[in-house]
Amino acid sequence: MVLRTIIFVLIWVFVLQFKLMKNSNQESEASAAFWERERKANFTRKKPLPVDDYIKIPLEQLPFSTVDDPQEQEIQQQITSLSKEPILNVSDMTNTDIKLTYGSGNFQLIARYDQNFQQLQQLLKKWAILLYEHGKKADAKTVLEYSIYLGCDISKSYTLLADIYQEEQDYISIQDLMDVVQNLHTLMKDSILRQLKERLPK
């Protein structure tokens, strides 16, 4: 009985060591591959920037108007000003991906263009909230749908748009919204999906 126990323990220790060694080798290979890819990225030459990929804000399609609310005036002015700047959405790319795609020399430039995109998303969200609070639901929906079209990953933009769809009893659009969220690269994906599902009929 004792001998059998000793043999069992030895086998268990051997299997455990084998698994640990295998995991260690896999981690070493993954680490080596990562650093090799990063090395290539750092030596990637500048490439022509993708002018066709720049986001062009369709000012004529968004609900700009003369308003008394100073906060909404400021948001409209900021969006108009931002429309003259290069805007890129690279939120689903790692820093290594960006350098490999555009060249390491363009990294800071691309990062700034992505910051413009993040600013645009925040402005569109704030604008939509104001429009909704002022009873302009159709205009709020236009702004939010444009934001989602651009690849927005802001939770509030999705839930507010879902609220509007719910008020319109447009549950198919909420389902479509959930399909969009499924493809998002964000840690908030599950949370957003859960909130959208709550807006569907029980």
Helices marked H in the chain — which ranges? 2-42, 70-82, 95-102, 107-133, 137-149, 155-167, 171-182, 189-197
pLDDT tens readout for residues 14-70:
555 656 565 655 555 555 555 565 655 565 667 777 777 899 999 999 999 988 899
DSSP code for 86 = -
State pLDDT tens for residues 129-185. 999 999 999 999 999 999 999 999 999 999 999 999 999 999 999 999 999 999 988
Phi/psi-derived region of residue 86, left when phi > 0, alpha when psi is between -120 and 50, beta in every other case: beta
Task: Tell me which residue of 36, 30, 113 sits closest to 102, measured CA to CA.
Answer: 113
More confident residue, 12 or 93: 93
What pTM did the predictor assign?
Answer: 0.79
**Cβ neighbours, 10 Å, residue 117:** 21
H or E stretch including 175? helix 171-182
Residue pLDDT, tens place only, 74-117? 999 999 999 999 999 988 888 888 888 888 788 888 899 999 99
